[in-house]
């Protein structure tokens, strides 16, 4: 689908080039900072506002991702992290694809914790199958670019076999893992409290 050019490779390398573990890189307060960063929030609203207010997309507020974090909140966290990575490492990503792909990457529309939930066709293998289910749902409900499709389908790499094929998909793949780590750390510290459905 996409062939990575030298600019893509340089951008990806910049995001992946972590020399050593730094506790500050995984401070859960980073999510709070991103949630209050006017530049990042304005980009989220500019490129994702239509999705965030769409009644179909708002179904994600009903499903839990990690602890008390809804899938809706998690997708916003991923979009915020992806935008921050793009800005910090000057990756030159397509911002529309980056935000929309981030927001739709977990558009699977079921409670993955409940093995008998409608739509949860592979309860013990959710990690492997949900990217395809999310892509199928997103294609049904929204017009997607090739890059947005690649983001959704490949965000679970390396758990799933096929690696991302565009810089935006690489960024979201990394941002998803980073945001999930921060959410888990916030859960462990008992400091998750924001209700995004009401604040955006």
**For the chain, what are the domain ranges?**
27-199
Across the range 108-121, mean pLDDT stands at 68
pLDDT for 11 equals 64
Q: Which residue has the higher pLDDT, 32 or 23?
A: 32
Give the 3-state secondary structure of residue 27.
coil
- The Cα 197–Cα 153 span in angstroms is 25
pLDDT for 97 equals 98
Whether pTM exceeds 0.85: no
With beta carbons less than 8 A apart as the criterion, state whether 185 and 31 touch.
no
- Cα–Cα separations (whole angstroms), residue 119 to 129, 143, 176: 11, 22, 22
pLDDT for 196 equals 43
For residue 4, how many other CB atoms are within 10 A of its CB? 16
pLDDT for 155 equals 82
Across the range 58-82, mean pLDDT stands at 88
Instruction: Give which of 125, 134, 128 is closest to 150, Cα–Cα.
Output: 134
Give the pLDDT band (50/70/90) at residue 125.
low
pLDDT for 145 equals 98
Q: Is residue 68 predicted with pLDDT exceeding 70?
A: yes
Maximum Cα–Cα distance for the chain, whole Å? 46
* 27-199: in CATH 1.10.3210: yes
pLDDT for 34 equals 83
Average pLDDT value over all residues in the chain: 81
Convert the pLDDT of each residue in 131-174 to its tens digit. Answer: 888 999 999 999 999 999 999 999 888 778 888 899 999 999 99
Q: Which two tokens stand for residue 27?
A: 């401070």
pLDDT for 48 equals 97
Give the pLDDT band (50/70/90) at residue 63.
confident
């Amino acid at each position: 689908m996409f062939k990575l050019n030298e600019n893509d490779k340089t951008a990806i390398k910049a995001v992946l080039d972590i020399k050593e573990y730094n506790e500050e890189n995984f401070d859960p307060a980073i999510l709070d900072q991103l949630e209050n960063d006017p530049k990042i929030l304005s980009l989220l609203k500019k490129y994702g506002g239509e999705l965030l207010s769409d009644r179909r997309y708002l179904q994600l507020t009903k499903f839990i991702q990690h602890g008390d974090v809804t899938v809706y909140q998690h997708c916003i966290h991923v979009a915020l992290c992806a935008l921050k990575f793009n800005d910090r490492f000057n990756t030159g990503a397509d911002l529309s694809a980056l935000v929309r792909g981030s927001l739709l990457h977990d558009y699977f529309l079921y409670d993955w914790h409940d093995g008998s939930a409608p739509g949860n066709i592979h309860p013990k293998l959710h990690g492997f199958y949900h990217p395809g289910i999310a892509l199928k749902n997103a294609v049904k409900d929204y017009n997607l670019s090739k890059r947005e499709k690649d983001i959704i389908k490949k965000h679970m790499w390396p758990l799933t076999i096929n690696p991302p094929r565009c810089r935006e998909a690489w960024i979201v793949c990394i941002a998803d893992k980073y945001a999930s780590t921060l959410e888990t750390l916030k859960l462990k510290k008992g400091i998750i409290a924001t209700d995004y459905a009401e604040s955006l």
